[in-house]
Amino acid sequence: MNEKILLDRFDETRVNIHRQMLSVVSHDLKTPLATIIGSLEVHARMEEKLSPEKKKLLLNSALMEAYRLDNFITNILDMAKFEGAIVEAKVERCDLKTLLSDSLTRLGPRREKGDISLRATQTNVTVHTDPMLLGRAAGLLLENALRHAGKNPIIIVEYGIEGEKAFIRIHDNGEGIPLGQEKAIFSKYTRLGKSDQQNAGTGLGLNICSEIMKLLLGQVHGENHSDGGAIFTLEFPVK
């Protein structure tokens, strides 16, 4: 096969990937925006005729979709920062319980969609890392768990220190990771299965999480639990 044919095929593949990326991003930005506009439009036009319960439902729907839209845009901006190599880790002493509590708070009303519990393997789990970046990575895994754990998410967040490494494990009660796709899920714009298509998301979250852990000299990996659901683990140096 000559060089020209190889180049043509490379260009065609690149164009197809670019089109797919634009399709995914545009769909996932427009979907929550359409819900926000629709909910607020109904509220504005029929405010006097709506019951208090219906008004609350419409406003809550708009708020939830606004959070989703903000999350999508944040992920896209974060990915651009990582691709531009302009993110640096700022290491400081931090308590993992406080860090994870802050990550839960930043979920806003999305936290109410599931039962999330924190479990420490020991008291006073203190590490030296970048709390903003690690908190962001943990938050992305929590968002992923809430999105894929079904109608009644039960999420257990275990954290502690093993040897010279600290860990955060997030176990959900969803359908788990498709066999053989444990590494693919950390690639950009990867979506697996019908349920992933139904739950809008750019597919950037786990990729950003992976990039963050590289900066923190750690790693993230996912696997299926023997009792069902998926477990995502962040591992990073204590010091």
Region(s) of the chain under CATH 3.30.565.10: 92-237
Query: How high is the pLDDT of residue 34?
Result: 86
What pLDDT does 97 receive? Answer: 93
Contact 239, 129 (CB under 8 A): no
Secondary structure of residue 69 in the 3-state scheme: helix
The CATH number of domain 92-237, selected from 3.30.465.10, 3.40.50.880, 3.30.565.10, 1.20.120.1150 = 3.30.565.10
222 or 69, greater pLDDT: 222
- As given in the structure block, the two tokens for residue 184 are 């693919």
Would you place residue 193 in the very low, low, confident or very high pLDDT band (cuts 50, 70, 90)? very low
Q: What is the mean pLDDT of residues 156-168?
A: 93
CA–centroid distance for 176 within its chain: 15
* Most confident option among 14-18, 61-65, 196-200: 61-65
Label each residue of 92-153 as H, E or C.
EEEEHHHHHHHHHHCCHHHHHHCEEEEEECCCCCEEEECHHHHHHHHHHHHHHHHHHCCCCC
For the segment(s) 3-83, the CATH number from 3.40.190.10, 3.40.50.2300, 3.40.50.720, 1.10.287.130 is 1.10.287.130
Q: Quick one: pLDDT band at residue 198, thresholds 50, 70, 90?
A: very low
Least confident of 134-138, 141-145, 152-156, 201-205: 201-205
Predicted confidence at residue 214, as pLDDT, reads 93
DSSP-assigned states of every residue in 184-207: GGGSTT---HHHHHHS---S-HHH
The pLDDT-based confidence of 35 (bands split at 50, 70, 90) is: confident
10 pLDDT more than 80:
no
Query: Pick from 163, 165, 166, 145: which is nearest to 97 by CA?
Result: 166
Highest mean pLDDT (candidates 78-82, 128-132, 150-154, 175-179): 128-132
Residue 15 CB neighbours (<10 A): 10
User: Could you tell me the CA-to-CA distances from 210 to 153, 176, 204, 213 in Å, in that order?
Assistant: 23, 19, 10, 5
Half-sphere exposure of 81 (CA within 13 A, CB side): 15
Q: Are 234 and 127 in contact (CB under 8 A)?
A: no
In the predicted structure, residue 194 carries a pLDDT above the cut 50: no
- Looking at residue 42, its amino acid is V
Tokens of 125: 């789990």
